């Protein structure tokens, strides 16, 4: 269970710039790629979201930067109401959220209300050699109207959950800095997502 039910409650107990940070870059395409549980909350999700967004799509990350206990910064996506995230989502047509799930299996779970885009993304990822399935957990399917992935102007987006096993496959082991280093598998995942988004933007 989350420690905080909303952002206002979190900010009364945690300090921005000390316990967490928010990164936002505005794009021009009508897509936003967001990592609401980034940094040390769900490791690797910020890096993935930023790489998928590139220079053209909006990028947002709420990142845990505490020395420990970053899981306490997790606000479930149906209640994630950090104002800069909602404002950014409201300026684009479609939101894609990147999350980290538990599990040693190397799996990707997809969800959200945009079934067409979800199908395109799932198909492309499977063609690239990734294992993709619907999340079996009823609380992680991204179908709620208030879920961050569905907060774009169209009212429907997609949620992508990567298990811990898969995220470890996308990064090389941490070095002396403690950072995860993206590897070829990471770049394949990112390239696959960026290709799908480019096709949608170009009307293909």
Strands (E), 40-177: 58-64, 94-101, 108-111, 132-134, 158-163, 171-172
* Residue 178 binned pLDDT confidence (cut-offs 50, 70, 90): low
pLDDT single digits (tens) 67-84:
999 999 999 999 999 999
Is 53 a residue whose pLDDT tops 90? yes
Q: Residue 91 and residue 109: Cα distance in Å, rounded?
A: 26
Q: What average pLDDT does range 46-72 have in this prediction?
A: 97
156 found inside a domain? yes
| Residue 101, domain extent | 7-201
pLDDT of residue 174: 64
For residue 16, what is the DSSP state? B
CB atoms under 10 Å from CB of 145, counted, come to: 10
Is 177 a residue whose pLDDT tops 70? no
Is 129 buried (19+), middle (13-18) or exposed (0-12) by CB count in 10 A?
exposed
Is 161 buried (19+), middle (13-18) or exposed (0-12) by CB count in 10 A?
buried
CB atoms under 10 Å from CB of 173, counted, come to: 7
| CATH value at residue 147 | 3.40.630.100
Considering its fold, how many domains does the chain have in total? Answer: 1
pLDDT single digits (tens) 79-132:
999 999 999 999 999 999 999 999 999 999 999 999 999 999 999 999 999 999
1 found inside a domain? no
pLDDT of residue 176: 58
2 found inside a domain? no
* Residue 156 binned pLDDT confidence (cut-offs 50, 70, 90): very high
Q: What average pLDDT does range 196-204 have in this prediction?
A: 94
* Residue 175 binned pLDDT confidence (cut-offs 50, 70, 90): low
């Amino acid at each position: 269970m989350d420690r905080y039910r909303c952002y206002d409650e979190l900010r009364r107990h945690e300090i921005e710039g000390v316990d967490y940070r928010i990164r936002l870059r505005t794009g021009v395409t009508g897509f936003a790629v967001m990592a609401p549980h980034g940094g040390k909350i769900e490791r690797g999700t910020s890096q993935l979201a930023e790489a998928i967004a590139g220079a053209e799509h909006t990028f947002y990350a709420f990142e845990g930067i505490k020395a420990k206990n970053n899981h306490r910064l997790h606000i479930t996506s149906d209640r994630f109401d950090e104002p800069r995230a909602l404002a950014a989502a409201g300026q684009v047509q479609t939101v894609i959220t990147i999350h980290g799930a538990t599990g040693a299996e190397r799996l990707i779970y997809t969800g959200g209300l945009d079934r067409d885009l979800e199908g395109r993304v799932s198909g492309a990822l499977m063609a690239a050699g990734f294992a993709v399935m619907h999340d079996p957990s009823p609380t992680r399917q991204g179908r709620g109207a208030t879920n961050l992935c569905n907060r774009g102007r169209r009212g429907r987006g997609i949620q992508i959950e990567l298990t811990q096993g898969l995220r470890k496959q996308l990064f090389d082991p941490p070095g002396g800095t403690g950072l995860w280093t993206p590897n070829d598998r990471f770049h394949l995942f990112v390239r696959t997502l960026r290709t799908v988004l480019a096709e949608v933007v170009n009307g293909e």
